[in-house]
Amino acid sequence: PVVLVRTCWGVASQPTYLLFAVSAALAMASLFVYVGSAPAIILDHWHLSETQFHTIFFPIVGGFVCASLAAGRFAGRVKRATQVKLGFGMLVISALVGVIAHATLASVPIPLTQFSWFLMACGAQLTYPVLSLEMLDMFPRARGAAESVQAFIALSVGAVVMGLLAPVLNGNLAHLALFSLACGAIAWLCWRWGTLLH
């Protein structure tokens, strides 16, 4: 246990690794805050039934699938940094579209919101595996510890976002869009900072 704790601490205290881990966690959190808010969005704001939760999950899962297929095509052909830039671009722009739509329209059409989620899921899925590989490559002799620390950070951020912040935001799509944009922007800044230190 002592060796394990020492190894994990050595991984977690590396600044570039920590920035990449926070970046990956926030990229997913920008999307998962909507998952945590699904009951309030579906039932209270969109006034749909209990059998219509697919209106949230289909666009998100579809985005993950499409981005996974694209990432498979990119492997070995597109530079990692290019893929991350594309992913963060999609993530931030789609969140910004949501913020602008809720600021200018009295009632944002559901399909527009769903399309925003689709693009957001694509962006998050393009960034996450590249950041994970970068983190694992930093510790070739302690990859298990690197993956464990990353999972701990991602789960901790996800727990706070879905268990604490999502209920506070109460499905308010305008506030959720702002939160999502903030997460995406901070995730991008963490990645940029990490690449400068790397």
Chain-wide mean pLDDT for the chain?
93
Answer whether residue 198 shows pLDDT above 80.
Answer: no
On the question of pLDDT at 46 being above 90, the answer is: yes
pLDDT at 20: 96
pLDDT of residue 56: 93
Q: What is the mean pLDDT of residues 3-13?
A: 90
**What is the average pLDDT across 171-185?**
94
* Model confidence band, residue 75 (pLDDT cutoffs 50, 70, 90): confident
List, as one string, the DSSP characters of the chain.
-HHHHHHHHHHHT-HHHHHHHHHHHHHHHHHHHHHHTHHIIIIIIS---TT-THHHHHHHHHHHHHHHHHHHHHTTTS-HHHHHHHHHHHHHHHHHHHHHHHHH-SS--HHHHHHHHHHHHHHHHHHHHHHHHHHHHH-TT-HHHHHHHHHHHHHHHHHHIIIIIHHHHTT-HHHHHHHHHHHHHHHHHHHHHHHHH-
Task: Identify the band that residue 76 occupies on the pLDDT scale cut at 50, 70 and 90.
Answer: confident
